[in-house]
Chains A and B, each alone.
Chain A
Amino acid sequence: EAGVTQFPSHSVIEKGQTVTLRCDPISGHDNLYWYRRVMGKEIKFLLHFVKESKQDESGMPNNRFLAERTGGTYSTLKVQPAELEDSGVYFCASSRAGLTLADTQYFGPGTRLTVL
């Protein structure tokens, strides 16, 4: 079974540009999550999809961030326009149900975003 994959692994862009990150969850996992870790800080929750619906987007920092999950499969996270403080590692995770305590989230390798 393939794990969670993320693309690209690294992205370097200039302030004001747009970047789109992609996440492919584990097949059969309805729940998809985005997290990010900015330098020196804890990993923070951004949002949670159940299939194609946004269940919780309370962690999205501002309206420059747009996440989509069309068809309930892969998800994209677009940052437009990117600012310096958006630099960090963006993780995607997926889980099967999200309804029980033991429902483990499996993480992808992350996308390291650098905004210059």
Chain B
Amino acid sequence: AQKITQTQPGMFVQEKEAVTLDCTYDTSDQSYGLFWYKQPSSGEMIFLIYQGSYDEQNATEGRYSLNFQKARKSANLVISASQLGDSAMYFCAMSPFFSGGYNKLIFGAGTRLAVHP
């Protein structure tokens, strides 16, 4: 079964420090995409970063990087130099190949990150 597991319901980090949010996935597909989304208290879902299963390099987007370890089926999000505005819920999601395309996203339960000053 295809599944995303986020084992950290909540995380705390000091402002300006780095934090790693864990994500493991389960799929038998060889081809899939991995995504991270941020949901601040306002409720909208903001796309952060994407990693393809065939990408050899870890994805990076500004202060966000994805630590992709394919053999371990993990796709951890690393946020460097945390800011107060990073306080939010973070969702890891996978897009498996289905019916000729990459359609539905499968989400983890989310990790709530709190950044302290």
Contacts and interface: CB of A to CB of B under 8 A. Distances in A.
Contact of B43 (A31, A56, A104, A109): A109
A43 B95 contact: no
Contacts of B91: 43
Interface stretch (A15-23, A74-82, A94-102): A94-102
Contact of A43 (B31, B47, B107): B107
A82 B46 CA distance: 29
Given A42-B107, A42-B108, A42-B109, A103 B43 contact: no
A7 interface: no
Nearest to B35: A104
Given A102-B33, A107-B44, A55 B107 contact: no
B43 A106 contact: no
Contacts, number: 74
Given A104-B35, A106-B47, A59 B102 contact: no
A48 B35 contact: no
Interface residues of A, number: 29
Contacts of B46: 107
A85 B43 CA distance: 20
A89 interface: yes
B37 A107 contact: yes
A45 interface: yes
A45 B105 contact: yes
B99 A56 contact: yes
Contacts of B107: 35, 42-44
A104 B101 contact: no
Contact of B105 (A35, A55, A100): A35
A103 B47 contact: no
Given A33-B104, A101-B53, 15 more contacts: A33-B105, A41-B109, A42-B107, A42-B110, A43-B91, A43-B93, A45-B105, A45-B106, A55-B103, A89-B43, A101-B52, A107-B37, A108-B44, A109-B42, A112-B43
Interface of B: 4, 31-33, 35, 37, 42-47, 50, 52-54, 91, 93, 95, 98-110
